[in-house]
Structure formats: structure tokens, C-alpha cells
Amino acid sequence: MLELRPSCENCNISLPADSEAAMICTYECTFCKSCVDEVLKGVCPNCGGNFCQRPVRPKDMLIKHPASKKVVFKPVINK
């Protein structure tokens, strides 16, 4: 089950469970669409994979399976 991490790993912007701006790689590294497009150029800095939009979990299912509160903040140095 997806963790639905609460924020972008690069800029730390909030990405709530219903955010359409949340992007994930195959390992669930989580970034906002802006960082994926502008900073990362579509390549995950952790695994080298690509990104897709994170699915939105229906509100009734969030009660049973809540979003993660684990913040991963590892800003990418933009060279």
C-alpha cells in the first residue's frame, strides 16, 4: 500500500493525500510536480527512475488506511 508521504522531498511543500501535484517513483520517493519538471527533469535523484502522478486515495479509505506522517526532506543541489 502506498505511504502517501506528506511533502515534497526537495522543497518540503505540503502534499496532502488528495494532492494532484504529488509525483512518485517506483520506490515511492515523493516530489511535487514543479520540482519533478523544473529541478529533477523527470528523473528521480534517489533511484534514477521516472515519475508518475501519485493516486488519490478516496476519503473513506483514508480512515482505514491513513496517509503517512513520515517527512523525507533531502533537497537536491541544483547544479
CATH topology of domain 1-72: Herpes Virus-1 (3.30.40)
The CA distance from 78 to 69, in Å, is 27
For the chain, give every domain's residue range.
Answer: 1-72
Band (35; pLDDT cuts 50, 70, 90): very high
* R_g (Cα) of the chain, nearest Å: 12
Looking at residue 61, its pLDDT comes to 94
SS3 30: strand
Average pLDDT, the chain: 95
